[in-house]
């Protein structure tokens, strides 16, 4: 990358509008880091407050704090925690780059709206995680790690007894029995946190490598008597099971679940419907006061039949918590990690002091869902597109 004096890039971040969101896509330390790359940062006033970052923190780091209209009009790139809604897209200027989780796997209408607005969409959910050069950009890993940690805390808070064994004058309280379904990044963090809280933890995942990972954390691996030897999917995700495998797995988990006080499910499929890991029958097998935390709950469904976003209690007295926004509950650390991911994606696309897309770069080709190497960016031109500047204008 060329020196900062050659860069003409302004990176803008807005206040996230969702009531469930406390994270922010840029933190003061990243402002300083981007400045060394010649990237100027604009922050909408109060954008970082819910994550514990004040306007003056950003100003001291070198960012300009201003109003929303100014951020929209002066930024060549905008970074988001949650994608901008379609009403906001109409206010973003043509050729602006949008970096964030865009839902590109499941919402083609949204991607079409990005394209029609003349915006370059950088979809972080498409990051090729298997590439070592992409690891620092991996928002899904960083945020799932936070989510798994918080899931165990939410479960412990909702459970009506102690997680650890406690010896009191009135007797000994047995430790909670926790079952974690899905042993990816979020699941492993949930396992580790629940173990540190003193629970007896068991976990299950269809991926063959997960048994060793689970046991390395001191948890037991739930033996269902089934063999899904091809459970590993692309990019390190668990693959979607076929209908027969799902039925076998579900029946086995339903039968085993009755022995647990807490069930935490973390098996997400990027851009797709989450696999069902616990059926209504399995929930009904749990004792009154048991807690289920479904981290995959969404409009597409969840890992648990009948789960929905928020907290409900079944007729049997089982506490059901649909919790897709758990990372927002650890907003300061989650934002620090996420901001690094977003910034590294941004810096990756800066070449010769300008934004550009390389046709032969694997990360570029994976992440770019709208826009081309010829589309350039508002206020900057790359080496490949400079010859076509007159045509672009």
The tens digit of pLDDT for each residue in 283-338 reads: 999 999 999 999 999 888 899 999 899 999 999 999 999 999 999 999 999 999 99
119 domain-assigned: yes
Same domain, 235 and 298: yes
Question: Is there a domain that residue 153 lies in?
Answer: yes
Q: Is residue 96 located within the same domain as residue 222?
A: no
Residue 137 domain flag: no
When pLDDT is cut at 50, 70 and 90, the band that residue 245 belongs to is confident
- Identify the pLDDT of residue 258: 94
Do 164 and 292 lie in one domain? The reply is: yes
Q: What digits encode the pLDDT tens for the residues 274-286? A: 888 899 999 999 9
Query: What distance in Å separates the CA atoms of residue 265 and residue 254, rounded to the nearest whole number?
Result: 13
List the CATH number of the domain containing 91.
3.40.50.720
| Cβ neighbours around 203 below 10 Å, total | 27
pLDDT at residue 230, as a whole number: 56
d(CA 377, CA 276): 42
Q: How far apart are CA 159 and CA 291, in angstroms?
A: 6
CA angle 68, 74, 77 (to 5 degrees): 90
In a domain, 203, yes or no: yes
How many helices (H) does the chain have, and how many strands (E)?
13, 18
**Within a domain: 390:** no
Task: Give the whole-angstrom CA distance, residue 117 versus residue 72.
Answer: 14
Please tell me whether residues 17 and 152 are part of one structural domain: no
Q: Is residue 136 part of a domain?
A: no
Let me know whether 198 and 311 are in one domain.
yes
Residues 279 and 358 in one domain: no
Q: Is the pLDDT of residue 248 over 90?
A: no
The pTM (predicted TM-score) of the whole model is: 0.87
Residue 104 sits in the same domain as residue 201:
no
Structural domains in the chain (count): 2
Question: Tens digits of per-residue pLDDT, 97-132?
Answer: 999 999 999 899 999 999 999 999 999 999 998 899
In a domain, 139, yes or no: no
Residue 2 parent element (H or E): none
What would the DSSP string read from start to end of 210-244?
HHHHHHHTTPEEP--S---TT-B-GGGPBPPPPHH
Instruction: Check whether residue 185 and residue 296 sit in a common domain.
Output: yes
Question: 103: alpha, beta or left, given left = phi > 0 and alpha = psi -120 to 50?
Answer: left
- Considering the domain architecture, whether residues 106 and 222 belong to the same structural domain is answered as no
The answer to the question of residue 393 being in a domain is no
Taken in order 216, 220, 226, 232, the sign of the CA dihedral is negative
The confidence score (pLDDT) of residue 225 equals 78
Q: Do 294 and 372 lie in a common domain?
A: no
The answer to whether residues 122 and 158 belong to one domain is: no
- In this structure, the answer to whether residues 114 and 204 fall within a common structural domain is no
Cα separation, 387 vs 390, in Å, equals: 8
- Domain extent, residue 23, equals 4-126+349-382
Residue 16 in this model has a pLDDT that exceeds 80 = yes
């Amino acid at each position: 990358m060329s020196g900062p004096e050659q860069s003409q890039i302004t990176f803008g971040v807005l206040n996230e509008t969702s009531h469930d969101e406390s994270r922010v896509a840029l933190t003061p330390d990243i402002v300083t880091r981007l400045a060394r790359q010649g990237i100027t940062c604009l922050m909408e006033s109060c954008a970082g407050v819910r994550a514990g970052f004040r306007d003056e923190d950003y100003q001291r780091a070198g960012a300009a704090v201003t109003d929303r209209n100014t951020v929209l009009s002066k930024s060549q790139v905008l970074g988001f925690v949650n994608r901008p809604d379609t009403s906001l897209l109409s206010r973003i200027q043509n050729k602006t780059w949008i970096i964030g989780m865009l839902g590109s796997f499941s919402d083609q209408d949204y991607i079409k709206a990005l394209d029609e607005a003349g915006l370059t969409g950088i979809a972080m959910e498409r990051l090729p995680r298997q590439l070592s050069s992409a690891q620092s950009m991996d928002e899904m890993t960083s945020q799932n790690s936070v989510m798994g940690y918080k899931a165990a805390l939410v479960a412990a808070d909702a459970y009506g007894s102690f997680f650890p064994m406690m010896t009191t004058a009135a007797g000994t309280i047995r430790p909670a029995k926790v079952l974690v379904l899905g042993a990816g990044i979020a699941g492993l963090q949930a396992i580790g946190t629940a173990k540190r809280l003193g629970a007896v933890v068991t976990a299950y995942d269809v991926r063959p490598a997960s048994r060793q990972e689970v046991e390395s954390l001191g948890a037991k691996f739930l033996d269902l008597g089934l063999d899904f030897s091809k459970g590993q999917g692309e990019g390190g995700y668990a693959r979607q099971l076929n209908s027969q495998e799902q039925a076998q797995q579900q029946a086995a988990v339903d039968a085993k679940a009755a022995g647990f006080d807490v069930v935490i499910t973390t098996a997400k499929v990027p851009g797709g419907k989450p696999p069902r890991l616990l059926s209504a029958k399995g929930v009904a097998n749990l004792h009154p006061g048991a807690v289920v935390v479904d981290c995959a709950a969404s409009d597409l469904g969840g890992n648990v039949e009948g789960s929905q976003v928020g907290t409900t209690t079944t007729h049997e007295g089982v506490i059901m918590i649909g919790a897709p926004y758990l990372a927002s509950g650890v907003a300061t650390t989650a934002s620090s990690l996420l901001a690094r991911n977003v910034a590294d994606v941004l810096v990756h696309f800066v070449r010769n002091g300008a934004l550009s897309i390389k046709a032969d770069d694997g990360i570029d080709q994976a992440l770019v869902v709208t826009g081309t190497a010829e589309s350039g960016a508002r206020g900057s031109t790359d080496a490949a597109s400079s010859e076509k500047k007159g045509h672009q204008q």
